[in-house]
Every structure is written in structure tokens, then in C-alpha cells.
Amino acid sequence: MPKKRSKTGVIAISALLLAGLTGCFAGGGQVAESGNGAGRIRLAMLQPPRSGLSPLSDDAFKLSRWQTAETLVVLDDLGEAKPALATGWQQVDQTSWRFTLRDGVEFHDGTSLTSAEVVASLSAAAKASPKPRILDGVELTAQADGLSGVIARTATPDPLLPQRLSSPQLAVFAATAYKEGGVVDPVNAGTGPYRLASVEGTSSARLDRFDRYWGEKAQADGVDVQFVPDGTARAAALRTGDADIVEAIPVGQVARIDPALVHEVPMPRTNTLYLNTAWGPFADPAVRAAARGAIDAGTIVDGVYEGRADKAAGLLGPALPWAADERSSAGYAANLATRVAATAVNGTPIRIGTFTDRAELPEVAVQLEQQLEAAGFTVEQDVREYQHIEADALAGKFDAFILSRATVLDSGDPVAYLYSDFSCAGSFNISQFCDPGVDEALAKAAGIPAGPERRAAIAAAESLILARDAAIPLLHERVIQGESGRVRNVERDPRERALITGKTGFTSSTGIASAPGAAG
């Protein structure tokens, strides 16, 4: 097990990170200003790019949160599809939809949006290896229908295709973004109110206002982004005024920050212990049941999250309020009743992995180690930065893995997440789980239009996954977002798709600091 850092070492590292932050942002709590005085927003983000900001990876959500890349449609608060780069759509037949493109859209490189660029972007995503999660189990093709129309087709009926096309991983880029070897470079190639001007590896990015944006122009001159995995350093940047917006403040840092600057956002995000069902000790369902019985998630919620989270009753949390009602059905209870009885464990060795990018997860690992060892397991921990541990997790090199997982990140609907994580063909199947009954339940849910029947089918699939103990849901998170008193109209988005928008700006038109706590 890696040695724990001393408290002095942690403080020293955080101080160095904060010093670096101050050097890259406008220092001393002053807003970075340009010639017209509108000012630049300083943003400290949690995770650095994993794939060079490729929109075909999870980095797409950064591009979406910065409003530099856009999709054909967006989702409203209820998860319904609304116009974006497409002004309308209609279902042509069971497997085909026609999307009408918005006129007058210009890419950041000066070229115009036509059906050719949309087809190229969707085709690149469909042919990518690995595919974007939103396309797991989906065979998507696209063809132009004139200059302003696109026909999107799936191999089988897909009642949620418009919602699927809202995923940031299916954003539309200029032809110049697509390079040899399947590389997609989003610099100067999107359509949003902010232009991605440059990226400095995994340390920073610069966004400038795009004055020829098709919609309402951005209020700020631009955004200066710093990637700061250390939660203590991010929190300190907010306290000292070296950042205007801070993503994901650790629970343990909240007490040190002015309450007016802290905002809790309920998230469709579940902290889950994935169990390796294919090999190792947890290939035995009775051993998985023993682990489930040993875990007290309430202690973790109270001790690690200081009550700023919700104990999990299932994989889907309170951000989807219908999920709790569905669990009261007789069918849900009947599926859970098929769980295998727990066996006794006496020194069974297990290796648990997690990552440091979310500050609470190493503490969760400590709590789980204590609980599992009290039940008879012998636990070894492996804790690293996410970019250095993801490949091993997906390859099944751990007996168990603790992950903070968004459950409706892609389409606004949890079927994509359940398919990705728990189907035989899922691309994010950390549990190495494959069960024909679960696959059948997921296929049934995927084929039903949005509404009560679809929600019931989703709940049935969830109950089957839990009955097999492929994963143990621990808690549902609330993200803690920091906003200085200088900024207003920062998005607090449970889906983690929006953060900076064109309306995000300063409380004073000159960009000079206003009274603390004045954020909108």
C-alpha cells in the first residue's frame, strides 16, 4: 500500500500549486481585463484533459462546459430535446430522423456550417475506436439532405435519438478539426460563443469571445482555464481571489470558505464500489454478497462527506426523483430477493483501486478498508491520479474499484450509463460483468419511448444489476461549486454540461471586484 503523505507535505504541495495558479491567473484578486474592460473569467477545473481535449472522449464535457463546442440539440431541465445547431427535427421512419440545420452559423475558423460538417462529425464519432459512450450498442450513420438537412439513421429503432445527439461527444466541428490518424483537434474549430484559442497540455487552456457567434454574444472577453487536480489548491484559489469560478470544492475545505461563495448542486452522480465479477475473489457471488453486507454507507456519508451527500438506495439517485418511486414496485423487490446469500470470509485478500482527483475518494477507500477488514477481508489499496489508473480499472486489474460516476451524463437518460457499465458489450464495464438477463432488460428499456413505461423498465434493469451484486452503490454526491462575488450567471448544472455560458459575466460592467457574495 502506498505510504500516506504527511500533513506538512500536503500543505507544502498545495502551497506550490496555489503559487502556480496565481502566476497564471491575474494575481492579487484582480479581474484580468482587456482593452474594452469586459474582463476575463478565471476558472479552476478539477481534472486535466485525458485525451488532448478530443471531443470523442470525456474531454468533450469540458468543451461543452466552456461553451466552445455545440451539438444539434440540447436538453432542458426535464431531459427533453430542444433546438441548438438544429432548429427542428422529425422522425422519417422507425430508424431515420431528419434534422434541419440553423442558418448563419459560422465555425471559429471562419467556415460556415453545412450538412457536410455535421455528417463528418457524426461519422467520425460513429467510427471512432473506442466509440463515445453515448453510441454503445448503437449503429449510427448520417447523410446530407441538401445543404441544411441531415438524415441520421440507426440500425434499430432508437426512440431517444434526438436526446442522444445532445451528448457533447457528438458536437459538430469544422472540417479543419479532423486530422490524420483519427485525431480531432477542437482548437479554433467549434461554433460556441467562446473560441478555444489554445491549450497548454494538461495545465491550462485559453478561450476568447467569438464575436461572430450566431446567438447572443458572450459578456466576458474570455476565459482562462487552469487544471488543478489538488482540491486544497482549488479551494485556496477561491478564498484568495485568484479564481472566479472553482469546480468541485472538497467537502473538507468548505468550512474555510465564505458561505456566500459556496453552492451545492445535487448531481446525478453515484459513488459506487464496482466488483470484478469475472475473476478473483468477487467472481463468487457469495463473496460479493459478503462485501455488500459489510459496508455501511451511512458512516461514509456522515464521516467523509460531512452529511453533504445522500446514502444510496440504488444506482440512480435523487437527481432522478422517479427512481425512488419505482423501487417500491413488487417486481423490483422480487428481483432483489434473488440475491445469493453471503459466505464467510476469513482473510480473503482483495485489492481496491481508486483515484485522487476527487479528494473524498481516498478517504472513502480508507473507510471501506476498515469495514471490509472487520468482515474478514484483507485489503490492499492502490490510489493514483485518474489518468494513471483508468486503463488498469477497465482492464479488470482490481478486485474492486471506487468510482464517482455520472448516471445521466450523456443523453439525459440513464440507459446509456447502465449499458456502458453493466452490459456484456459495455465500453466502461469496470465490473467485467456480463449477464444475458441484464442485457435483455437493458435492450427492452432502450426500445421504449420516454415516459412511465420506460422508467419502469430502467428500474427493472437496475434491480437485476443490484441482485447480481455487480456493484455496490454507496452514495449520491452533491457537487460543491465555488463562485467569487465578482461573477454572475454561472451555471449550476446537475448534468455537468454547462458552467460558463454567454451570460456569465461580472457583477460590474468594468470588471472591477464587487462586494463578496454578489454572485447571481
The mean pLDDT of 411-418, rounded to a whole number, is: 84
CA distance 475 to 303: 12
Q: Is the pLDDT of residue 36 over 60?
A: no
How large is the average pLDDT for residues 120-147?
A: 91
Q: What is the mean predicted confidence (pLDDT) over 461-485?
A: 96
Q: How far is CA 18 from the centre of its chain?
A: 25
Fold (topology level) of 73-179 = Dipeptide-binding Protein; domain 1 (3.90.76)
Q: Could you give the residue range(s) of every CATH 3.40.190.10 domain in the chain? A: 7-46+193-247+485-506
Give the Cα separation of 247 and 232 in Å (integer). Answer: 12
pTM of the complete model beyond 0.75: no
pLDDT at residue 16 greater than cutoff 60: no
* Nearest-angstrom CA–CA distance, 178 and 125: 11
Long-range CB contacts (within 8 A, 24+) of 449-454: 449/159, 449/160, 450/79, 450/80, 450/159, 450/160, 450/163, 450/413, 454/413
In the 8-state DSSP scheme, what is residue 168? G
pLDDT at residue 24 in the model? 53
What digits encode the pLDDT tens for the residues 222-239?
A: 999 999 999 999 999 999
Radius of gyration of the chain, Cα coordinates, nearest whole angstrom = 23
Helix, strand and coil in the chain, % to nearest 5: 30, 25, 45
State the Cα–Cα distance between residues 319 and 266, nearest whole angstrom. Answer: 6
Give span(s): CATH 3.90.76.10, the chain: 73-179
Return the higher-pLDDT residue of 37 and 194.
194
Mean pLDDT value across the chain: 89
Question: 447 vs 170, 243, 277, CA distance in Å?
Answer: 21, 45, 27
Topology annotation, domain 7-46+193-247+485-506: D-Maltodextrin-Binding Protein; domain 2 (3.40.190)
Q: Does the pLDDT value for residue 424 go beyond 90?
A: yes
Asked if the model's pLDDT at residue 279 lies above 90, the reply is yes
CB-CB contact of 186 with 55 (8 Å):
yes
Q: What fold does the segment set 266-477 form as a domain?
A: Dipeptide-binding Protein; domain 3 (3.10.105)
SS3 345: coil
C-alpha span between 175 and 291 (Å, rounded): 51
The pLDDT value given to residue 456: 94
